[in-house]
C-alpha cells in the first residue's frame, strides 16, 4: 500500500526562462513541497544537457536544507563513477551536519551526460565497472567504519564527524542497480520515468527476492520515481502535458533543448507526430488530482512498494506547484479517511 509521496526535481530548462530562475524555482519548490507534506525532495545530476541544468546536486541540497526543516533532502543522484568516493563522503557528511538525519545520498552508475562530457569529468572510462566497490567504499567512509586491510584509504577518515549518517540509495533503470542494492543491503530507487515503466516490476522484484539484510537496513526498501502531472481538469492536465510530450518527440529526433510552452508544443509538427503525442497522453499519469493520486496508489500496489517519488515537467512553474499540491491533497485526504 502506498504510504508516502516524495518529489524528484531536475531543474528543467524552459524556453524563454533564464537558468538562474530555473535553479531558484527548484529551491522554492522544495520549500513548498515540505509544506504540502511530501516525505523527501531529491535533485538530479546532469552535465552539458540542453534540457536539464541541475549539474551539482550537493550544492542544491545545501541550499534546500538551509531553507527547510523536516523534509528529507537527497540526490537522485550523484553519478559516482565521475568522482572519488572519499570526496563524495566528505560532501555528504557536511550536508548531514547542516541537516542532521535528513540527508539521502542516491548514487548511480550512468554518466548523466554524453560520453565526451563523461571523459572530461573522469578520463578513466572504466570507472563505471567499479561502481559496486565505490558504493561499498562510500558506505564505509560515511559510517566511519574500517576499510579492508590493504586498501590505500585504510586509516583515512571522512569528516566532519556526526551522530547521524546519510542514507545511501542505489539508483537504477535496469536489473543492474537492483542487484547491487540487493547485494549490499541498501534501499533501491527505480527510474520509472526513464523507462516509462518498462522493467520496473521485474527490477523491484529482483531486488526484493535477492535482498541481503545489512547492519543499516533489515528489510528491502524500494521507491519508483514516476513522471506525473495533475490539474483541476483532465483537459488542463493534457494541455500542460504537451511540453513534456514535445520534448520526448524531439529527443527521438536528437533535437533536445529547453522545453517549450504548452501553446507552442504542437507548432511545426506533422499529423503523424501529433498522433504520436496523442498516444503518449493515453499512457501518461495525467488527470485531475483525485485521478493521479489513485494512479499512484494503483502503481504502488502493482509494484509492491510503499513510496513513490513524483517528477513533473511543465513550462509554467505555477503549473508544477499546483500539480504537486493537487496530488498531495487528494492522496493525504484519502489516507486520513481510511485511518
Q: What's the burial of 293, exposed, middle or buried (CB within 10 Å: 0-12/13-18/19+)?
A: buried
Window from 31-45, 108-122, 208-222 with minimum mean pLDDT: 108-122
The whole-number pLDDT of residue 112 equals: 86
Percent residues over pLDDT 70 in the chain: 98
The whole-number pLDDT of residue 332 equals: 87
Residues 327, 308: Cα–Cα separation, whole Å? 12
What number of other Cβ atoms are within 10 A of residue 294's Cβ? 15
At 338, the pLDDT band (50, 70, 90 cuts) reads: low
Tell me whether residue 223 is in a domain. Answer: yes
Report the pLDDT averaged over residues 31-44. Answer: 98
Tell me whether residue 244 is in a domain. Answer: no
194-209 core/surface letters (b: 16 or more CB in 10 A; e: else): beebebbeebbebbbe
**Cα-Cα-Cα-Cα dihedral of 136, 141, 146, 149, to 10°?**
60
What number of other Cβ atoms are within 10 A of residue 111's Cβ? 22
Percent residues over pLDDT 90 in the chain: 93
Report the pLDDT averaged over residues 69-87. Answer: 97
Tell me whether residue 242 is in a domain. Answer: no
At 4, the pLDDT band (50, 70, 90 cuts) reads: very high
Specify the CATH number for the domain of residue 182: 3.20.20.30
* pLDDT tens per residue across span 295-305: 999 999 999 99
* pLDDT tens per residue across span 234-289: 999 999 999 999 999 999 998 889 999 999 999 999 999 999 999 999 999 999 99
The whole-number pLDDT of residue 288 equals: 98
Report the pLDDT averaged over residues 163-191. Answer: 97
Tell me whether residue 73 is in a domain. Answer: yes
Tell me whether residue 145 is in a domain. Answer: yes
For the chain, strand residue ranges (E) read 4-9, 40-43, 72-79, 103-108, 167-172, 188-190, 222-231, 285-288, 307-311
Mean pLDDT rounded to a whole number for the chain: 95
Half-sphere exposure of 324 (CA within 13 A, CB side): 30
The whole-number pLDDT of residue 125 equals: 83
Q: How far is CA 78 from CA 64, 121, 138, 250, 260, in A?
A: 16, 13, 12, 26, 27
At 335, the pLDDT band (50, 70, 90 cuts) reads: low
Residues 71, 229: Cα–Cα separation, whole Å? 21
Strand partners for 270: none
Helix (H, G, I), strand (E, B) or coil at 106: strand
Report the pLDDT averaged over residues 89-107. Answer: 98
Q: How far is CA 259 from CA 12, 112, 234, 282, 330, in A?
A: 8, 18, 21, 21, 28
Helix (H, G, I), strand (E, B) or coil at 275: helix
Q: How far is CA 147 from CA 13, 215, 279, 337, in A?
A: 41, 16, 52, 49
Report the pLDDT averaged over residues 60-64. Answer: 98
DSSP for 16-43 reads: TS-HHHHHHHHHHHHHHHHHTT-SEEEE
Whether the CB-CB separation of 26 and 60 falls below 8 Å is answered with: yes
Residues 138, 143: Cα–Cα separation, whole Å? 9
Residues 42, 78: Cα–Cα separation, whole Å? 11
State yes or no: pLDDT of 333 exceeds 80: no
Q: The domain containing residue 141 runs over which residues?
A: 4-233+286-337
Closest to 201 measured CA to CA, from 224, 219, 179, 180: 224
Tell me whether residue 290 is in a domain. Answer: yes
Report the pLDDT averaged over residues 39-50. Answer: 97
Look at the chain and report how many structural domains it folds into: 1
Q: How far is CA 187 from CA 34, 37, 41, 280, 335, in A?
A: 22, 22, 16, 31, 24
State yes or no: pLDDT of 337 exceeds 60: no
The whole-number pLDDT of residue 339 equals: 42
Tell me whether residue 148 is in a domain. Answer: yes
Report the pLDDT averaged over residues 60-68. Answer: 98
pTM score, whole prediction? 0.96
Tell me whether residue 158 is in a domain. Answer: yes
Whether the CB-CB separation of 169 and 76 falls below 8 Å is answered with: yes
Amino acid at each position: 500500500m502506498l504510504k508516502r509521496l516524495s518529489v524528484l526535481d531536475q531543474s528543467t530548462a524552459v524556453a524563454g526562462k533564464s537558468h538562474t530562475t530555473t535553479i531558484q524555482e527548484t529551491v522554492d519548490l522544495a520549500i513548498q513541497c515540505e509544506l504540502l507534506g511530501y516525505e523527501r525532495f531529491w535533485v538530479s545530476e546532469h552535465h552539458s544537457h540542453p534540457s536539464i541544468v541541475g549539474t551539482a546536486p550537493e550544492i542544491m541540497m545545501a541550499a534546500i536544507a538551509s531553507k527547510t526543516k523536516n523534509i528529507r533532502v537527497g540526490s537522485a543522484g550523484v553519478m559516482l563513477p565521475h568522482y572519488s568516493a572519499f570526496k563524495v563522503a566528505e560532501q555528504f557528511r557536511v550536508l548531514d551536519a547542516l541537516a542532521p538525519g535528513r540527508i539521502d545520498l542516491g548514487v548511480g552508475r550512468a554518466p548523466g551526460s554524453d560520453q565526451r562530457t563523461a571523459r572530461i569529468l573522469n578520463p578513466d572510462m572504466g570507472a563505471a565497472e567499479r561502481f559496486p566497490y565505490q558504493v561499498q567504499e562510500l558506505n564505509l567512509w560515511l559510517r566511519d567504519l574500517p576499510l579492508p586491510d590493504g586498501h590505500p584509504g585504510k586509516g583515512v577518515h571522512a569528516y566532519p564527524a556526526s551522530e547521524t549518517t546519510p542514507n545511501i540509495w542505489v539508483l537504477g533503470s535496469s536489473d543492474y542497480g537492483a542487484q547491487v542494492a540487493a547485494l549490499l543491503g541498501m534501499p533501491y530507487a527505480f527510474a520509472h520515468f526513464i523507462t516509462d515503466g518498462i522493467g520496473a516490476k521485474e527490477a523491484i522484484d529482483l531486488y526484493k527476492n535477492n535482498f541481503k539484510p545489512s547492519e543499516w537496513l533489515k528489510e528491502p526498501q524500494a521507491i519508483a520515481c514516476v513522471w506525473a502531472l495533475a490539474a483541476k481538469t483532465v483537459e488542463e492536465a493534457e494541455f500542460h502535458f504537451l511540453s513534456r510530450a514535445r520534448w520526448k518527440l524531439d529527443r527521438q529526433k536528437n533535437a533536445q533543448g529547453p522545453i517549450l510552452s504548452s501553446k507552442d508544443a504542437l507548432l511545426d509538427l506533422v499529423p503523424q507526430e501529433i498522433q504520436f503525442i496523442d498516444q503518449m497522453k493515453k499512457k501518461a499519469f495525467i488527470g485531475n488530482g483525485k485521478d493521479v493520486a489513485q494512479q499512484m496508489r494503483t502503481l504502488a500496489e502493482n509494484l509492491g512498494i510503499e513510496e513513490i517519488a513524483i517528477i513533473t515537467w511543465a513550462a509554467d512553474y505555477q503549473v508544477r506547484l499546483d500539480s504537486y499540491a493537487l496530488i498531495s491533497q487528494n492522496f493525504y485526504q484519502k489516507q486520513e479517511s481510511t485511518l
